[in-house]
Structure 1
Amino acid sequence: MSRRTAVAAALAALVLASGCLGFLSGPVTFSASQVTVQDSALESAGYEEVAVEEMQVNRTFEAAGQSKTVEITNWVAQYEKQVSVLGVERRAAVFGTFSSPEVSVLGQSFNPLNEYDDREIAELIQQQYGTISDLTAVSNTTMTVLGHSTTVTKFSGTANFDGQSIDVFVHVTKVNDGGDIVAAVGVYPQQLDGEEEHVVTLLQNLQHAS
């Protein structure tokens, strides 16, 4: 899996892996709204948009001899920044957002992203990304994202870029906004001075089309 799609695919796996929705009546389609980074913040932080796209997940649930397929439409936004790593220019700084809708069936609400804390999201990224290991929580910071006070957890880890091991930081947070759960993740080499501030800039300048 390429670094470009790693964050988005990892977060999408949260939806695919969840099996908590065991109801067979009610709506069969649920859609989230886009979450993107403001252009001015991207320019300031030096990131470029890679993709903003829908990601649909279909799940069939069975109970009492009946089955029902539920379609969930999520939105993924991916951004990258080319930086110098070990003397070579690489698109090694990555930022991604993922929005997943609240699913309501029979008066009960469920959102797969809501079942995971920051550590579990980071651990899932580690599994899906395939090149990050030894994730360790470094700090927790409270900031405002999409108008909500939230905790951003910073992890340290080791990534493999083109066969070379590089220490990285991973920032993870999520908020509930407009009926969607929004997760945001930033990954970058630890050697980049000031990159944490750029990630903070991106987090503080998210926009949700709710």
Structure 2
Amino acid sequence: MRQKQLVAVGLVVLVALSGCSFLSGPVTFSADKATVSDQALSETDYEEVSVNQSVITRNFSAAGQSKQVEVTNWIAQYDREIDLGPLGSKRAAVFSAVATPQVKVLGQGPFNPVSDYSNAQLVMMLQQNYESIDDIQHRSNYTATMLGHETTVGTFSAQAKLQGGQSMDVYVHVTKVQDGDDYVIAVAVYPQQFDDRESQRVQTLLGGVQHGNASA
């Protein structure tokens, strides 16, 4: 996921700087942290894996001048152990929240490719606990509330390979909202045979997403 997010951030900066004149000093953009509340984690038996910043710095040159741009994203990752029978217990139910800033440079913008991403494209930003997620097929949509915003959550079927090589059929839930100056993206993946209980857990996690001061 991080590699693909870096690509997205690179596109943000390239678009933002295109055709602009350069001023002295670096340009910095930072998202506010997006996490899941302790209460939602307790209710769903999910555990925090990591909450990290992803800081990208790029130098750009034009007309003999150079400009440094720094973009800070937040990536929060959670998972839950599931008994997969012959495959043993695996942390195969995963949930991620990503906060990425809108970018404005020299009066141009805001820019951020995720504002135009479809839910299917957002699915491809997640690789936590899985080596690959392929053959993604849209199933349905439902409405949920995240950060006080009503949002459409896309559900998808897919073929996934766990870290370690085991392949399985999974369901994916994905959505995004604009909250303040950031976009917050949530993605969940779990084995299909656990849909009845995991889909309810995902909705609880979506409702427990916090952003900015609420997650401090």
Cα offset, 1:25, TM superposition: 4.0
Partner of 1:203: 206
Partner of 2:16: 21
Cα offset, 1:130, TM superposition: 4.0
Check 1:66–1:135 CA distance in 2 against 1; reply closer, same or farther (3 A cut): same
Partner of 1:92: 92
Residue 44 of structure 2 aligns to which amino acid in structure 1?
A
Residue 52 of structure 2 aligns to which amino acid in structure 1?
E
Cα offset, 1:104, TM superposition: 1.3
The CA RMSD measured in Å over matched residues stands at 2.0
1:175-201 CA distance string (max 9 Å, x none): 110111111110111111310110111
The 8 Å contact of residues 11 and 121 in structure 1, kept in 2 or not, is answered as: no
Cα offset, 1:148, TM superposition: 1.0
Inter-partner Cα distance in structure 2 for 1:43 and 1:16 = 36
% identical equivalent positions: 47
Residue 133 of structure 1 aligns to which amino acid in structure 2?
D
Say which one has the larger Rg. Answer: 2
Correspondence list, 1:48-127, <5 A: 48-87=47-86, 88-108=88-108, 109-125=110-126
Inter-partner Cα distance in structure 2 for 1:107 and 1:84 = 53
Inter-partner Cα distance in structure 2 for 1:172 and 1:25 = 38
Check 1:9–1:195 CA distance in 2 against 1; reply closer, same or farther (3 A cut): farther
Deviating more after overlay: 24-33 vs 189-198? 24-33
1:130-185 CA distance string (max 9 Å, x none): 42110011111122111112111111101123332200011111111011111111
Deviating more after overlay: 9-18 vs 129-138? 9-18
Aligned length: 202
Check 1:145–1:12 CA distance in 2 against 1; reply closer, same or farther (3 A cut): farther
Q: Determine which of 171, 175, 185 is the counterpart of 2:177.
A: 175
Structure 2 SS opposite 1:163? coil
Cα offset, 1:62, TM superposition: 3.4
Residue 169 of structure 1 aligns to which amino acid in structure 2?
Y
Partner of 2:136: 135
Inter-partner Cα distance in structure 1 for 2:15 and 2:119 = 19
Structure 1 runs not aligned, ≥5 long: 1-6
The 8 Å contact of residues 46 and 81 in structure 1, kept in 2 or not, is answered as: yes
Partner of 1:152: 153
1:106-152 CA distance string (max 9 Å, x none): 222112322422111113447xx642110011111122111112111
The 8 Å contact of residues 126 and 187 in structure 2, kept in 1 or not, is answered as: no
| 1:163 maps to 2:165 | yes
For normalisation by structure 2, the TM-score amounts to: 0.85
Cα offset, 1:105, TM superposition: 1.5
Structure 2 runs not aligned, ≥5 long: none
Deviating more after overlay: 27-36 vs 175-184? 27-36
Cα offset, 1:204, TM superposition: 1.0
Inter-partner Cα distance in structure 2 for 1:111 and 1:61 = 18
Check 1:186–1:113 CA distance in 2 against 1; reply closer, same or farther (3 A cut): same
For normalisation by structure 1, the TM-score amounts to: 0.87
Deviating more after overlay: 196-205 vs 12-21? 12-21
Structure 2 SS opposite 1:191? helix
